[in-house]
Amino acid sequence: MTQSMGYREGMWAVSPYNFDRNVRASMTLPARVQLMDLTLREGRQVDGVSLRLEDVVEFARRIDAIGIPLIEMHHDDPEEIRQVKKLGLRLKVQAPVHPTAALNPQLCRQEIDHCLDVGTDIICLAFAVSDYNYRLVESMGGLKVSREEAVDLACEAVQYGKSKGATISANLMDFSRLDLDWLKTIAGRIAGADIIRMDDICAPCMPEVYEHRAKQIKGVIGDAILGIHSHDDFDLATAGQLGALQGGTEMLEGCINGIVERAGIPNTAVLAAVLELFYGYDTGIRLDGFQELAEFVADVWN
């Protein structure tokens, strides 16, 4: 049998209908897809996990070696990011700014400056923009704001980050429960960010909602990259990300072994394989390197 879409001699043979024009007719697949791994951030939040600096550095080496282009790390321990950046790896590092700080101008500026000081490549500002999440900002951050004020503060945070020369990802929390017109308004207003990241918080929707919302948001954010962060509360985290992909989302994300707090998020290895086998993307990732990396994580993250 000759090589074809969905078939690689001695490697895999998946349904050719994954590539059928009629099957793909309603999809708006992006030309390129990036995969980000969150094992050193969300994977750190599992109860009982405590990593040594050498574990963090070794993980970064190993995941870079298989071709993952982007990882997310906590900046709470600046030495970890510094040491990873000193390795001179190809991968880039993203660090988050917590929602209780992202809408507080003074704290947000301090967090952005701190991220830049330790060598962070991308700063992710987590914005609580739904009615369900304003209470989080108020209870944990002591900041009571209206939704209109929250958007103004989000725009201010993005503008400050850009003024410092930072690459900014704007994380829109709870995107699926937001009124669509309001979601598009928010996304459009902060489109000065380099990345708009949809965050489902607790996955309260079908995969089709991810696809529909992605298509709608893509129409208002110009050249910004669209990303998706999904959770496995209903065992649909991977399906949600693929729905978002079919709506035009260019950045997917997961953890090695899907190991995170609470319900979990997609397995990075599964996402990489599906992107290559079912969608035909050349991710640049060595799929045969995941088993050894998964075993390393299973051993160290316990």
Question: Is residue 3 situated within a structural domain?
Answer: no
CA distance 99 to 134: 10
Question: Is residue 20 situated within a structural domain?
Answer: no
Residues in the chain with pLDDT values less than 50: 1-2
Question: Is residue 299 situated within a structural domain?
Answer: no
pTM of the model: 0.95
pLDDT at 1: 41
287: helix, strand or coil: helix
Phi/psi zone of residue 247: left (φ > 0), alpha (ψ -120 to 50 degrees), beta?
Answer: alpha
Q: Can you count the helices (H) and strands (E) in the chain?
A: 11, 10
Question: Is residue 192 situated within a structural domain?
Answer: yes
pLDDT at 5: 79
Question: Which are the contacts of 179, defined by CB distance < 8 A and separation ≥ 6?
Answer: none
Count of the separate structural domains present in the chain? 1
Query: Which has the closest alpha carbon to 283: 93, 70, 73, 92?
Result: 70
pLDDT at 139: 66
pLDDT at 152: 93
Question: Is residue 232 situated within a structural domain?
Answer: yes
Structural domain span for residue 48: 30-286
pLDDT at 134: 67
Query: Which has the closest alpha carbon to 98: 48, 143, 52?
Result: 143
Question: Is residue 219 situated within a structural domain?
Answer: yes
| Run of H or E including 126 | strand 122-128
Question: Is residue 5 situated within a structural domain?
Answer: no
Question: Is residue 11 situated within a structural domain?
Answer: no
CATH of the domain at 129: 3.20.20.70
DSSP states of 180-232 as a string? HHHHHHHHHHTTTSSEEEEE-SS--S-HHHHHHHHHHHHTTSTTPEEEEE---
**CA 256 distance to own-chain centroid:** 14
pLDDT at 137: 67
- Which residue type, as a one-letter code, is found at position 157? A
